[in-house]
């Protein structure tokens, strides 16, 4: 198909984006109007191809996953802004018209097209500003982070894990006299690997955690510095991370307010980039945390050069720092906590604690209230119908009845003791 010249609509689009680019680089956008009509057309007619997101190898990733990742990544690029949001330069505009304009400025400087013209000083001023940032390398970091989140969300540590490569390649420009580049994201697949471990005379399979390709680094095995667990260890000692299937079952059960793709992400993040060791008098845990509050804890054992994640326990377990304090305040058994649903995160969002003052105060004193507040703030209000609340009154009344009876029991016991 023969190349054609740029249409008026495309030219207008490039013109608007170029002005946003100039604002980003703290240049007067009206500088563009100081070029002649023909000069502007030369500067604006190079439009890079729309980014491409697809599997590195066909039929290696479920189509619905690819479609979801592509749709959400493009939605991000269409709605999120590069640099100062006031400039309203979206990542998709930068990847197409924006970079096309910037690279044309560099190209015309090399060709000397504007040498000796009144506009030479302007275009050299643009070149100096544009050279300050390596946009192909660093300009799309936020987009890559979004794609990392998406690929991790569809990864399963006991099955397949997804990653991606990122780069720019020569595209297929349809505009006469222009060259084109295209952002290419290729989704990759890493099958899990397993190993048998014997602990307390019981042999179980565990799956090795993998850090998949993330647009910058190639795939690698997930590790944790031994020094994080044993402070006296040498600086460059590491442990390989393995996860037993039981962890996945308990994680799903206890993180019940999250959709599967969010659970997938949280589990991987907690055991890789978000590693945080918490110690008690008796044992150590790896925390599953979000921002400034904990969601639960992973227990583990160590064999030679491997750390094996055994299970996932709730914040209210007596083994945890918060759960130990809660037990001291309320003396609830494990069966009591399970009966009330305190072993699930939904307990913190469904119960109206204002109606159960003794429990509310205990959660505050046990340092669990910040988790409740954090989860409340995380709930997507837009997903709730007007006037709807996540609080479950039936659940609230159930828990309130339990604590009312418990308090009544304590009162009666104290009265009997005083009578005796």
Angle at 356 between CA 352 and CA 359, to 5 degrees: 105
d(CA 368, CA 362): 8
User: Residue 6's pLDDT is what?
Assistant: 77
Environment class of 231 (CB within 10 Å of its CB; exposed 0-12, middle 13-18, buried 19+) = exposed
User: Residue 172's pLDDT is what?
Assistant: 73
N residues, the chain: 420
Interval 258-287: pLDDT, tens: 999 999 999 999 999 999 999 998 899 999
User: Residue 87's pLDDT is what?
Assistant: 96
Interval 218-228: pLDDT, tens: 999 999 999 99
| CB atoms closer than 10 angstroms to residue 260 | 12
Average pLDDT, the chain: 91
Q: Domain limits of the chain? A: 8-190, 193-313, 321-419
Those residues of the chain that have pLDDT short of 70 are: 1-5, 173-179, 380-388, 409-420
SS3 string, 221-251, reads ECEEEHHHHCCCCCCCCEEEEEEEHHHHHHH
The position carrying tokens 């969010």 is 262
DSSP tally for the chain: helices H, then strands E: 17, 13
User: Residue 382's pLDDT is what?
Assistant: 44
Instruction: Answer for the pair 312, 250: CB distance below 8 angstroms, yes or no.
Output: yes
Name the helix (H) or strand (E) containing 99.
helix 99-111
What is the longest distance spanned by two Cα atoms in the chain?
108
User: Residue 388's pLDDT is what?
Assistant: 64
- The model carries a pTM of 0.88
């Amino acid at each position: 198909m023969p190349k054609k010249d740029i249409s008026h609509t495309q030219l207008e689009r490039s013109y608007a984006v170029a002005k946003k680019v100039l604002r980003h680089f703290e240049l007067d956008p009206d500088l563009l109007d100081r070029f002649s009509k023909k000069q502007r057309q030369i500067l604006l007619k190079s439009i890079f191809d729309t980014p491409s997101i697809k599997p590195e190898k066909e039929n290696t990733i479920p189509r619905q996953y690819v479609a979801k990742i592509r749709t959400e990544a493009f939605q991000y690029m269409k709605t999120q802004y590069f640099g100062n949001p006031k400039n309203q330069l979206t990542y998709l505009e930068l990847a197409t018209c924006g970079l096309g304009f910037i690279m044309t400025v560099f190209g015309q400087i090399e060709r000397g097209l504007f040498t000796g013209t009144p506009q030479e000083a302007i275009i050299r001023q643009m070149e100096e500003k544009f050279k300050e940032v390596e946009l192909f390398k660093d300009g799309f970091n936020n987009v890559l982070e979004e794609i990392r989140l998406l690929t991790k969300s569809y990864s399963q540590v006991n099955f397949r894990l997804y990653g991606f490569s990122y780069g720019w390649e020569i595209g297929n420009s349809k505009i006469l006299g222009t060259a084109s580049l295209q952002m290419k994201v290729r989704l990759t697949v890493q099958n899990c690997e397993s190993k048998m471990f014997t602990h307390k005379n019981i042999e179980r399979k565990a799956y090795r955690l993998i850090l998949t390709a993330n647009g910058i680094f190639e795939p690698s095995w997930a590790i944790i510095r031994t020094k994080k667990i044993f402070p006296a260890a040498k600086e460059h000692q590491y442990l390989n991370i393995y996860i037993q299937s039981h962890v996945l079952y308990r994680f799903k059960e206890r993180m019940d307010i999250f959709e599967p793709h969010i659970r997938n992400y949280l589990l991987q993040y907690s055991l890789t980039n978000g590693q945080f060791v918490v110690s008690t008098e008796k044992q150590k845990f790896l925390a599953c945390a979000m921002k400034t509050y904990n969601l639960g804890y992973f227990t583990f054992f160590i064999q030679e050069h491997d750390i094996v994640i055994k299970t996932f326990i709730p914040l209210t377990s007596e083994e945890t720092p918060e759960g130990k304090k809660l037990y001291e305040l309320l003396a609830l058994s494990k069966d009591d906590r399970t009966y009330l649903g305190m072993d699930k995160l939904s307990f913190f969002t469904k119960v109206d604690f204002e109606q159960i003052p003794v429990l509310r105060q205990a959660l505050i004193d046990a340092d669990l209230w910040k988790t409740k507040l954090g989860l409340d703030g995380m709930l997507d209000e837009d997903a709730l119908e007007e006037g709807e609340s996540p609080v479950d009154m039936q659940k609230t009344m159930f828990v309130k009845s339990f604590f009312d009876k418990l308090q009544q029991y304590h009162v009666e016991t104290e009265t009997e003791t005083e009578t005796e």
